[in-house]
Chains A and B, each alone.
Chain A
Amino acid sequence: MKAEVVVIGGGPAGLAAALKASEHADVMLLEREDELGGILPQCIHDGFGNFIFNEMMTGPEYAQHFIDGVKKSDIDVRLETAVLEIGMDRKIVATNPAGIMEIEARAIVLAMGCRERTRNQILIPGTRPAGIYTAGTAQRLINIEGVMPGRKIVMLGSGDVGLIMARRFALEGAEVEGVYELLPKPGGLTRNIVQCLDDYDIPLHLSHTITDIKGKERVEGVTIARVDESMSPIKETERFIPCDCLILAVGLIPENELSKQVGIAIDKRTGGPFVDEHMETSVPGIFACGNVAHVHDLVDDVTLASEIAGTYAGKYAAGKIEEAGRVNITAGKNVRYVVPQFLRGLDMDSITFYFRVKEESEDVNIVISDGDRIIFEKREMVVKPPEMVKVVMPSSLLANTGGEVRIDVEGKYEK
């Protein structure tokens, strides 16, 4: 079958992209679960939509808004549909209980989200008993499947996913012995440290890691240890904590297996495709948005970028895109990565750059330059690695650049 725009993934990225794309072309939305929403149905906490809707919504409420929009639209939604492969010329093979679908798409939006870093990837020694879960899986089990993963929890990782789950466990009556974080600074938003840990008297131990897991059939306990500056465990500080459940919140990885299949260039720094300001990848007609492109902190940012991806996917399918000269965006001083990584044409009124800093700093100056010429500056009170920075600038300022634009974060740095 032929389709104009195919959106792969029905989470917040896919929903927003599909809605915008449908303003320009026919859209088919493929979702492997039996309902839309992606990860949002299990994110029952609030904090979503603060930006876009000026409301602190829960994940399901945020999703509901877009699901209602999709229901009212002409978007062809296929649930329980998993994409098996994407071939050259944007040919998609998908499967669902009704059979195999072979779809020739004019434009594709990749919105497959991400997966969690596993215990094995961080090489925690010990046994392999029941009771070890990544935070997202624990969230699914508690909030959707209706089962409790454990009664005495040790959490590794202080990113937002971990902090939210520490609170969730506490609210469901479990004892959260502590949250252990490898780095000397917490990984999540301060608001979550206060409302998820402080409120529940859950101690946060920075510069700590887990050095052993004990338990034959079920977790019986873990050994924690403090780490030195090179993040190696200090053996003398090892302490055994009896517990029956280890939760890992040690990072998210964009899920780009399908993207790699079709030869899309992947940026090692983000784990996602190189994209331009339209969220178009290195393969013409294939767009990427949401966590599949890079891991976001706020779903509001996912929605905004996905709306751009959807708009341009729709325009592409409708034959309405023109390309101009390519401009590369360089991640400069104290910048780990920038999305988009390149620009293709300046037909948008404004361009939003998303980036993360390498080191925390206060009272900084974000400088966007073209060679020696500074084209845009913005002050920021504080920048931290776990908090993605957004800079919106009029695209007219990017006209007539020499093809290389750099973003630097100038300021005082801790040593």
Chain B
Amino acid sequence: MKDMVLKKVEKIVRRHGFDDISVSMENGVVYFNGSVPSVEDFVQIGLAAGKIKTVRGVVNNLYYPGRKKKKKKQGMEEKIGAADIVIVGGGITGCFIARELSRYDLNIILVEKAEDVATGATKANNAMVHTGIGEYMGTLKQKLCIEGHLMYEKVANELHVPYKKCGMWIITTKHTLKHYKIPSFIADFISKRIIPFIVLRRGKKLGIPMQSVNRRELLEQEPNVTGKALAAVYSPTYGVTCPYHLTVALAENAMENGVKIMLNSEVTDIVTGDGIVKSVITTKGTIDTNFVVNAAGLYADEIADMAGAREYTIHPKKGSTLIFDKEYGNYINHSMSLLKFPRTEHYKGGGIMLTVDGNIQWGPTMESPSRMEDKSVASDDIEQIFRHFSLLTPDFPKNVIIAYFAGLRAATFTEDFFIRSSERVKGFVHAAGIQSPGLAASPAVAKMVLSILKDEGLEMRENKNFNPYRKKPVIFRELSNGEKEKLIEQNPLYGKIVCRCEQVTEGEVVDVIHSPVPALNVDAVKRRTRAGMGRCQGAFCLPRIARIISRETGVPMEEIVKNSEHSNLFVGKAKCLLGEGDDES
């Protein structure tokens, strides 16, 4: 079997015509070594091997021009504690796992290298809680997406995190089959009848409720949708949430149930011996443990490498998203996506959505290959989104855009989740390659990881004090006048508006600065309170938010950062640049 697969891979390599590639295989994992002329080749070969059915993982060590060697960081040998289990990574995956594990009587430490949770792919996620209808059949991500989606309402209610069943239109238009030069009456027929039928059938097979509507019905319910629409399938259970709110809520609930979360703590090495995990070395100290969950997102392959458990390579896929003014929030009634064939990576997923806060969101794009640290948005990305999604709502006033951003998805070359215990190191569990539908799948991913940990021998006794509920945070703008009055009576800071676009009060800002996972910089405050997410994008409130952070934390105003350690907002106090100088003006 292995020889058959190896032969297939070697054929792929030969087809590409590169002679500096060596291939080997072990335990279902393909290893590439050598070099290729470009990053495109690097990705293509990896993906081609990953497509082979019995290939579990692809470790792609091919060098390409510009590929950076991962710098080894210096950790602290000093032992700072012991844990039953260490979770590496504080995104939606790691925090969900932490919260679920806290149901058991365990000493759990989550280590996150950045200054806050959810700073990686989670932060740039487009917030859709997919039903699973759009995933490739038979994949792990499809299975976990369908499962996870059904678990969402419960956890959102327990944690007081916004979750709306916004519904989703899957729409066919005159553009659906435009790529294929077939006569329009055939294309229309396929788009009106065949494609919706296939979608409905798939939904039925997977147990996902869907309804088919004709053009007239669609236009009645969505007056602003394009006149070129032909048919649609409506998915009523499609949901939308707020990815960073959810991640913060999970982290805080986990902490309340005993989990220790270490921020600004980067894992630099993992010590193993006798085939088991012995300890995790971080920049803040060493933790003795026998169990590690690798939820390190873009860096999961590096973490796996440290433990000698590397079975995949992560290649990033950038996605850009556009956000539009809330004023147009009622332009559509439900989210919508356009079915366009061929289904290249560019046209998979994404759509026009309503966020939980009432903004319209277009995107995301899917760009491959992407560079590891590159989250810039190019004018082509913006153009592409404008072009593609205008096909759904051609008259939408695109000039009411208020923000755009990009994130990197952590993808494996098998383009599926990699969730399993390591073949080589006992106690090391991978929760890697979590790209779309990682957000929707997260409750199921956590459940799966827990069951794997049990099989690996982690003793899981029930934590009798586990409390699944998190206290509802104060969201001033959502309260009635009477509730606002009561709140201000208790604490006058809730009566002082600091962000006028989103009506955020000083009281809420102070709350998040002192919360269990504290917001100590402007972006962390922004993600939790929405201060700075409105149409003025912080022009008015940034000085005030920075001032409040300074006051509440004691950090001098001139040292306040935007997000990470060196993202200083200011270069110093006023007049700090007026040196002695010469006397010419």
A residues within 8 Å of B by Cβ? 32, 80, 82, 84, 93, 95-100, 102, 115-116, 118-121, 123, 125-131, 133-134, 136-137, 140-142, 144-151, 172-174, 200, 211-214, 216-218, 244-245, 257, 260
A149 to B573 Cα, complex, angstroms: 9
Assess whether B492 is in contact with A97, with CB atoms less than 8 Å apart: yes
A-B Cβ contacts below 8 A, count: 153
Assess whether B547 is in contact with A145, with CB atoms less than 8 Å apart: yes
Mostly, the A contact residues are: mixed
- Which residue in B381, B495, B570 is a CB contact (below 8 Å) of A147? B570
When distances are taken between beta carbons in the complex, the residues of chain A under 8 Å from B579 are 173
Chain A residue with the shortest CB-CB distance to B558: A147
Report, nearest first, the 5 A-B pairs whose CB atoms are least far apart. A173-B577, A97-B492, A130-B562, A82-B497, A217-B567
Rounded to whole Å, the gap between the CB of B238 and the closest CB of chain A is 27
Assess whether A126 is in contact with B376, with CB atoms less than 8 Å apart: yes
Q: Does B186 contact A (CB under 8 A)?
A: no
Assess whether A121 is in contact with B401, with CB atoms less than 8 Å apart: yes
Assess whether A140 is in contact with B500, with CB atoms less than 8 Å apart: no
Assess whether B481 is in contact with A102, with CB atoms less than 8 Å apart: yes
Knowing A97-B488, A217-B564, A244-B571 touch, does A115 contact B557 (C-beta < 8 A)? no
When distances are taken between beta carbons in the complex, the residues of chain B under 8 Å from A136 are 539
Known: A144-B543, A148-B576, A149-B570. 7 other contacts (CB 8 A): A84-B503, A97-B496, A126-B376, A148-B574, A150-B571, A213-B376, A218-B567
Assess whether B481 is in contact with A93, with CB atoms less than 8 Å apart: yes
When distances are taken between beta carbons in the complex, the residues of chain A under 8 Å from B379 are 123, 125, 211
Assess whether A129 is in contact with B402, with CB atoms less than 8 Å apart: no
Q: Does B561 contact A (CB under 8 A)?
A: yes
Question: Which of B401, B547, B571 counts the most A-chain CB atoms under 10 A from its CB?
Answer: B571
The 17 sampled A-B contact pairs (Cβ below 8 Å) are A82-B503, A95-B505, A102-B481, A118-B536, A121-B402, A123-B379, A126-B376, A130-B569, A131-B569, A137-B538, A147-B569, A148-B572, A148-B574, A149-B570, A172-B578, A173-B575, A218-B567
Rounded to whole Å, the gap between the CB of B13 and the closest CB of chain A is 35
- Which residue in B382, B496, B536 is a CB contact (below 8 Å) of A115? B536
Q: Does B377 contact A (CB under 8 A)?
A: yes
Assess whether B575 is in contact with A172, with CB atoms less than 8 Å apart: yes
Question: Which of B501, B536, B581 counts the most A-chain CB atoms under 10 A from its CB?
Answer: B536
When distances are taken between beta carbons in the complex, the residues of chain A under 8 Å from B565 are 217
Assess whether B500 is in contact with A151, with CB atoms less than 8 Å apart: no
Assess whether B564 is in contact with A149, with CB atoms less than 8 Å apart: no
Knowing A134-B539, A137-B539, A150-B571 touch, does A125 contact B378 (C-beta < 8 A)? yes
Assess whether A148 is in contact with B495, with CB atoms less than 8 Å apart: no
Assess whether A147 is in contact with B489, with CB atoms less than 8 Å apart: no
Rounded to whole Å, the gap between the CB of A296 and the closest CB of chain B is 19
B residues within 8 Å of A by Cβ? 327, 373, 375-379, 381-382, 399, 401-405, 481, 484-485, 488-489, 492-493, 495-497, 500-501, 503, 505, 535-540, 542-543, 546-547, 557-558, 561-579, 581, 585
- Which residue in A99, A140, A213, A244 is a CB contact (below 8 Å) of B485? A99
Assess whether A99 is in contact with B489, with CB atoms less than 8 Å apart: yes
Knowing A130-B561, A147-B573, A148-B574 touch, does A116 contact B568 (C-beta < 8 A)? no
A180 to B198 Cα, complex, angstroms: 55
Chain B residue with the shortest CB-CB distance to A97: B492
Rounded to whole Å, the gap between the CB of B399 and the closest CB of chain A is 8
Chain B residue with the shortest CB-CB distance to A96: B495
Knowing A100-B484, A148-B570, A148-B574 touch, does A127 contact B375 (C-beta < 8 A)? yes
Chain A residue with the shortest CB-CB distance to B400: A121
- Which residue in B536, B557, B578 is a CB contact (below 8 Å) of A173? B578
A136 to B537 Cα, complex, angstroms: 13
Assess whether A217 is in contact with B566, with CB atoms less than 8 Å apart: yes
Assess whether B535 is in contact with A172, with CB atoms less than 8 Å apart: no
Assess whether A146 is in contact with B495, with CB atoms less than 8 Å apart: no
A384 to B574 Cα, complex, angstroms: 36
Rounded to whole Å, the gap between the CB of A169 and the closest CB of chain B is 9
Assess whether A141 is in contact with B577, with CB atoms less than 8 Å apart: no
Knowing A115-B536, A118-B539 touch, does A99 contact B567 (C-beta < 8 A)? no
Knowing A137-B539, A137-B543 touch, does A218 contact B566 (C-beta < 8 A)? yes
Rounded to whole Å, the gap between the CB of B121 and the closest CB of chain A is 16
When distances are taken between beta carbons in the complex, the residues of chain A under 8 Å from B481 are 93, 100, 102
When distances are taken between beta carbons in the complex, the residues of chain A under 8 Å from B540 are 115, 137
A15 to B564 Cα, complex, angstroms: 42
A80 to B539 Cα, complex, angstroms: 19
A245 to B578 Cα, complex, angstroms: 17
Knowing A82-B500, A98-B488, A98-B495 touch, does A145 contact B568 (C-beta < 8 A)? no
When distances are taken between beta carbons in the complex, the residues of chain B under 8 Å from A213 are 376
Assess whether A141 is in contact with B543, with CB atoms less than 8 Å apart: yes
Assess whether B571 is in contact with A151, with CB atoms less than 8 Å apart: yes
When distances are taken between beta carbons in the complex, the residues of chain A under 8 Å from B381 are 125
Assess whether B382 is in contact with A125, with CB atoms less than 8 Å apart: yes
When distances are taken between beta carbons in the complex, the residues of chain B under 8 Å from A100 are 481, 484-485, 488, 495
Rounded to whole Å, the gap between the CB of B576 and the closest CB of chain A is 6
Chain A residue with the shortest CB-CB distance to B383: A123
Assess whether A80 is in contact with B496, with CB atoms less than 8 Å apart: yes
Assess whether A172 is in contact with B573, with CB atoms less than 8 Å apart: no
When distances are taken between beta carbons in the complex, the residues of chain A under 8 Å from B542 are 137
When distances are taken between beta carbons in the complex, the residues of chain B under 8 Å from A147 are 557-558, 569-570, 572-574
When distances are taken between beta carbons in the complex, the residues of chain B under 8 Å from A99 are 485, 488-489, 495
Assess whether B537 is in contact with A118, with CB atoms less than 8 Å apart: yes
A303 to B225 Cα, complex, angstroms: 46
Rounded to whole Å, the gap between the CB of B498 and the closest CB of chain A is 9
Chain A residue with the shortest CB-CB distance to B559: A147
Assess whether B495 is in contact with A123, with CB atoms less than 8 Å apart: no
Assess whether B568 is in contact with A218, with CB atoms less than 8 Å apart: yes
Chain B residue with the shortest CB-CB distance to A119: B537
A131 to B497 Cα, complex, angstroms: 25
A115 to B570 Cα, complex, angstroms: 22
Question: Which of B382, B546, B567 counts the most A-chain CB atoms under 10 A from its CB?
Answer: B567
Rounded to whole Å, the gap between the CB of B56 and the closest CB of chain A is 34
When distances are taken between beta carbons in the complex, the residues of chain B under 8 Å from A214 are 376
When distances are taken between beta carbons in the complex, the residues of chain B under 8 Å from A140 are 543
Rounded to whole Å, the gap between the CB of B272 and the closest CB of chain A is 33
